[in-house]
Amino acid sequence: MMRFLLLFSRQGKLRLQKWFTPISEREKKKIIRDMTTMVLARQPRSCNFLHWKDLKIIYKRYASLFFCLAIENQENELIALEVIHRYVELLDKYFGNVCELDIIFNFEKAYFILDEFLMGGEIQETSKQMVNRSIEASDMLQEDDSSEWFEVELFG
C-alpha cells in the first residue's frame, strides 16, 4: 500500500499532505522535513526512486511542484510513477492546465480529487472519466455559499 503522498514546492513549502496510516503530528513534521531535504537535494537527472527507512520513495517533478509518494517495499515502483502521473492528469483536466497556484488556492479541491482516485493507500478508480464525473457531480451538489447574502450592502 501507499503510505503517504506529499506535494511541495521547490522551496520546500508544503502544498498537500495525504497520510494513509495514523502518525503523530510531530512525526509528520519530521517526515515532511526529511522528504523535502532528500528530494530537493537530488541531482536533476537521477532516477526517481529513493530508499528511506523501510519504504521506497517515488518522486517526480512537475513544473514547480514535487510529487513525493511513499510505498511499501514490495510494491512496484514503476506503476507508482504512473499513479503520480495519473493524479497530475486528473488535476489538469479539472483545473485546465493546472499550475501550482491552482493547487494553492483550491487545495480542498485537490484533496477531493485525490479522494476519488486513491483510498486507504490503494487505487480506487482506474478510469479518468469516472473520477472526473464523480467530482463534477459532487461539485453540483455543493449548495451555493449562502453567506453570499451577508456580503450585500443594505443601504447605498
Binding site for other proteins (CB under 8 A): 14-17, 19-24, 29, 43, 45-51, 54, 76-79, 81-83, 86, 104-105, 107-108, 111-112, 115-116, 119-120, 122-130, 134, 137-138, 141-143, 145-147, 149-155
CB of 97 to other proteins, least distance (A): 19
CB of 129 to other proteins, least distance (A): 6
CB of 29 to other proteins, least distance (A): 7
Give CA–CA dist 114/102, Å, rounded: 15
106 in Cβ contact with 95 (< 8 Å): yes
Taking the least distance from each CB to other proteins, the nearer of 22 and 96 is 22
CB of 84 to other proteins, least distance (A): 11
For residue 100, what are the contacts with CB-CB under 8 A and spacing of at least 6? 9, 15, 63, 64, 65
Taking the least distance from each CB to other proteins, the nearer of 63 and 72 is 72
Give CA–CA dist 115/123, Å, rounded: 10
Give CA–CA dist 123/2, Å, rounded: 9
Taking the least distance from each CB to other proteins, the nearer of 63 and 85 is 85
